[in-house]
């Protein structure tokens, strides 16, 4: 109990508390017809059961189905249907909503709580705290880079996809038996890092309604029951909240809100943190979007074959370029932009603090770059999804009567226009954030100059993406 | 870009920026007038690459693509033109059409040819890539708009 109190006090102390109970919020938990759905654990359990069944089916089909990626349900379902839905729907509209139904942590969580739905008395696992040195987004960024290095194989070979999924779920189970709560999701899962940072742009949040009520409630049921180990009063942003809504269900004071809020409500206020992990992850996401766009949507066969031939000399060249882009070129360019921006300030902050603060502007830029990249293959390859549903085992079935469908959802060629529009939205949002951060720091007449180098970084990145996707 | 002070200067950009945006979208981008030419492109298709991977023509040009596969059966579908051919290994397939739509279009393999098949892509550029130029112009404008909006 003492450890829990220590965590709570640190969480509250460490963060500027942002609570969403203002006029621009709509508490969905107060909507009468939604309330029973939110309060009951059954809808979420059923959704999780469906995704878990789908997950194991995907692994089986990946291992034993057609070896040809574009004919295998595992590849199409994971890398076209789910990956597209995550970037076009779940994250932009629901933040970490996917995490609430993600199958990866489920078996481990059920073992941890000793029951499928609510916590039992007899529980499994050591419940150790996650090592301090491994906290933050570093591991997740590293794993995302590893996936990027092997992406040409992972995204196209059903066997590899199946083994990766199997490996991830076994790792999640193993970690949940050693470490407390959702350590795997918070510190290890590369998709968790991806959804986490971009969840700050989404129009959904869980927040405390009245912090004074929490202060007088000594049991802290919300924290005790939260699978993620989050104390809702301390929620600074939505990056760590998995939207399972357990806090809302167990709060005896009915003091938790599930808010609809304006997009990007977590962004735009100066951050005093010195943590660079979020900036690093955001840069890795930018670099990966750039690299994937070149490899998968570019016309350079030599690059595709290099990315595919793992272990060969061309692959080493690809790996070197990919890592250099993510670990050297983009971080150096962004650091230079921030440094130049701070040079124009009358009260320059340390470079570390400035990078941590200004990196928020990379989030809309990155999210919309991923959206633009996704459009490039989701629309032309939409027919694959229908065909995979029609013949999930690759046995020549025609369940939907559409096995030979070659439906091109982009028959009229509007995908490039959507891609440009997405990139422009991301750029505008990013630059607006940069400018509002400058304004929040200082209002001297020439302060706008601070915004120019980071805005130039965003512009240059957008033009590069645009060139790759529609050039 | 100092902070706007008067009411007029505060709202003027909301008028000017969309107007400039519309201009960027609708102003014709000059292109050299040329008489249409007939081209023949010999494209070799090999696993996950077209060689050459980029072909450039002018609007109105008549082009014939001679597709030869070097390994397995490959296809070539032209985005935006709804055209497609397939070539068996060692055999040549031909596709003739008039490139009457300016812009950049992807050429995609339409026959499953291996793991990277969905990403086997080439490029047909017909005249100016107006979408790219207009997009770049809008990007520049939006940077100014973003700085102004964030700073006001």
d(CA A96, CA A105): 14
**Hey, what's the torsion of the CAs at A18, A20, A23, A27, to 10 degrees?**
180
Q: Is B139 on the interface with A (CB under 8 A)?
A: yes
pLDDT tens-place string over residues A78-94: 999 999 999 999 999 99
What phi and psi, each to the nearest 5 degrees, are found at residue B50? -105, 135
pLDDT tens-place string over residues B18-67: 999 999 999 988 877 778 899 999 999 999 999 999 999 999 999 999 99
The Cα of A352 is separated from the nearest Cα of chain B by a number of Å equal to 23
CA separation, residue A371 to residues A415, A422, A468 (Å): 11, 7, 14
> What pLDDT, on the 0 to 100 scale, is given for residue A10?
43
Q: Is B72 exposed, middle or buried (0-12, 13-18, 19+ CB in 10 A)?
A: middle
> What pLDDT, on the 0 to 100 scale, is given for residue A15?
42
The closest alpha carbon to A370, from A297, A313, A320, A435, belongs to: A297
> What pLDDT, on the 0 to 100 scale, is given for residue A407?
56
- Give chain B positions within 8 Å (CB) of A420: 131, 135, 138
Q: Is B56 on the interface with A (CB under 8 A)?
A: no
Grouped pLDDT means (10 residues each) for chain A, 471 residues = 48 43 85 93 94 96 88 90 95 96 94 81 85 94 95 93 96 96 95 96 96 92 93 92 95 95 93 90 97 96 95 97 98 97 86 94 98 90 82 79 60 86 97 91 79 96 97 91
> What pLDDT, on the 0 to 100 scale, is given for residue A14?
39
Instruction: Give percent of chain B above pLDDT 90.
Output: 66
Nearest chain A residue (CA) to B130:
A471
- Give chain A positions within 8 Å (CB) of B14: none
What is the count of residue pairs from A and B with beta carbons less than 8 Å apart?
156
* β partners of residue A208: A256
pLDDT tens-place string over residues B92-146: 999 999 999 889 999 999 998 988 898 999 999 999 899 999 999 999 999 999 8
* β partners of residue B104: B125
Structure token pair of residue A6 = 């220590």
Query: What ipTM score was computed for the predicted complex, to two decimals?
Result: 0.90
Q: How far is CA B76 from the centre of its chain?
A: 16
Buried b (16+ CB within 10 A) or exposed e, A429-448: bbbbbbbbbbbebeebeebb
Task: Output the average pLDDT for chain B.
Answer: 89
Contact B150 A296 (CB under 8 A): no
Query: Looking at the predicted structure, is the pLDDT value of residue B16 above 60?
Result: yes
- Give chain A positions within 8 Å (CB) of B48: 301, 304-305, 308
Q: Which of B48, B138, B146 sits opposite A435 (nearest CB)?
A: B146
Domains, chain B, ranges and CATH? 38-131 (2.60.40.420)
Q: Which of A69, A71, A459 sits opposite B143 (nearest CB)?
A: A459
Which residues, numbered 5 to 34 in chain B, qualify as contacts with chain A under a Cβ-Cβ cut-off of 8 Å?
A: none
Task: Kindly list the domain boundaries of chain A, sorted by start residue.
Answer: 2-260, 277-470
Q: Which of B103, B116, B150 sits opposite A431 (nearest CB)?
A: B150
Beta strand extents in A343-393 (DSSP E only): none
Q: Note whether A409 and A379 are within 8 A (CB).
A: yes
Q: Which of B1, B129, B135 sits opposite A448 (nearest CB)?
A: B1
d(CA A298, CA A318): 14
- Mean pLDDT (whole number) for B74-82: 90
d(CA A430, CA A424): 10
Q: What is the pTM of this model?
A: 0.91
> What pLDDT, on the 0 to 100 scale, is given for residue A88?
96
């Amino acid at each position: 109990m003492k450890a829990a109190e220590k965590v709570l006090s640190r969480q509250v102390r460490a963060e500027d508390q942002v609570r969403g109970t203002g006029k621009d919020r709509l508490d969905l938990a107060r909507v009468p017809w939604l309330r029973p759905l939110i309060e009951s654990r059954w809808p979420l359990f059923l959704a999780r059961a469906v995704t878990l069944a789908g997950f194991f089916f995907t692994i089986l089909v990946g291992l034993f189905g057609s070896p040809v990626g574009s004919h295998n349900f595992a590849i199409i379902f994971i890398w076209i249907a789910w990956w597209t839905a995550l970037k076009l729907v779940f994250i932009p509209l629901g933040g970490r909503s996917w995490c609430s139904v993600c199958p990866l942590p489920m078996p481990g969580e059920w073992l941890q709580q000793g029951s499928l739905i609510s916590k039992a008395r007899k529980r499994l696992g050591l419940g150790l705290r996650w090592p301090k040195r491994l906290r933050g987004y570093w591991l997740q960024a590293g794993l995302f880079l590893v996936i990027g290095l092997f992406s040409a194989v992972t995204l196209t070979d059903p066997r590899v996809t199946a083994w990766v999924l199997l490996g991830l779920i076994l790792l999640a189970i193993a970690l949940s038996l050693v470490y407390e709560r959702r350590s795997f999701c918070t510190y290890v899962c590369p998709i968790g890092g991806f959804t986490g940072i971009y969840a700050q742009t989404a129009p959904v949040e869980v927040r405390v309604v009245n912090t004074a009520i929490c202060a007088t409630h000594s049991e802290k049921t919300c924290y005790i029951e939260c699978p993620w180990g989050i104390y809702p009063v301390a929620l600074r942003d939505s990056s760590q909240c998995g939207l399972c809504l357990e806090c809302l269900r167990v709060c005896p004071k009915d003091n938790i809100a599930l808010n609809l809020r304006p997009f990007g409500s977590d962004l735009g206020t100066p951050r005093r943190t010195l943590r660079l992990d979020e900036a690093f992850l955001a840069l890795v996401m930018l670099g990966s979007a750039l690299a994937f766009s070149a490899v998968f949507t570019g016309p350079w066969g030599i690059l595709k074959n290099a990315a595919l031939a793992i272990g060969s000399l061309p692959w080493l060249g690809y790996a070197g370029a990919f890592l250099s882009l993510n670990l050297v070129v983009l971080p150096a360019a962004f650091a230079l932009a921030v440094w130049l921006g701070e040079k124009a300030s009358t009260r320059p902050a340390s470079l570390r603090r400035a990078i941590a603060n200004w990196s928020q502007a990379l989030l809309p830029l990155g999210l919309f770059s991923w959206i633009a990249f996704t459009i490039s293959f989701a629309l032309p390859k939409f027919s694959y999804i229908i065909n995979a549903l029609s013949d999930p085992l690759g046995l020549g079935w025609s369940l939907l009567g559409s096995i030979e469908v070659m439906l091109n959802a982009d028959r009229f060629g509007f995908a490039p226009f959507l891609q440009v529009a997405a990139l422009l939205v991301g750029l505008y949002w990013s630059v607006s954030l940069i400018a509002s951060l400058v304004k929040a720091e200082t209002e001297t007449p020439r302060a706008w100059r601070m915004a120019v180098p980071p805005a130039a970084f965003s512009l240059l990145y957008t033009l590069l993406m645009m060139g790759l996707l529609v050039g | 870009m100092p902070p706007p002070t008067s009411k007029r200067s505060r709202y003027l950009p909301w008028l000017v920026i969309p107007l400039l945006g519309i201009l960027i979208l609708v102003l014709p981008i000059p292109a050299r007038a040329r008489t249409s030419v007939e081209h023949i492109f010999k494209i070799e298709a090999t696993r996950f690459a077209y060689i050459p991977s980029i072909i450039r023509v002018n609007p109105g040009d008549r082009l014939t693509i001679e597709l030869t596969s070097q390994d397995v059966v490959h296809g070539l579908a032209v985005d935006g033109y709804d055209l497609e051919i397939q070539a068996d290994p060692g055999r040549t397939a031909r596709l003739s059409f008039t490139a009457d739509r300016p812009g950049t279009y992807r050429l995609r393999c339409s026959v499953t040819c291996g793991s990277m098949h969905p990403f086997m892509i080439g490029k047909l550029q017909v005249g100016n890539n107006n979408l790219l130029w207009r997009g770049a112009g809008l990007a520049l404008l939006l940077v100014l708009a973003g700085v102004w909006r964030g700073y006001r």
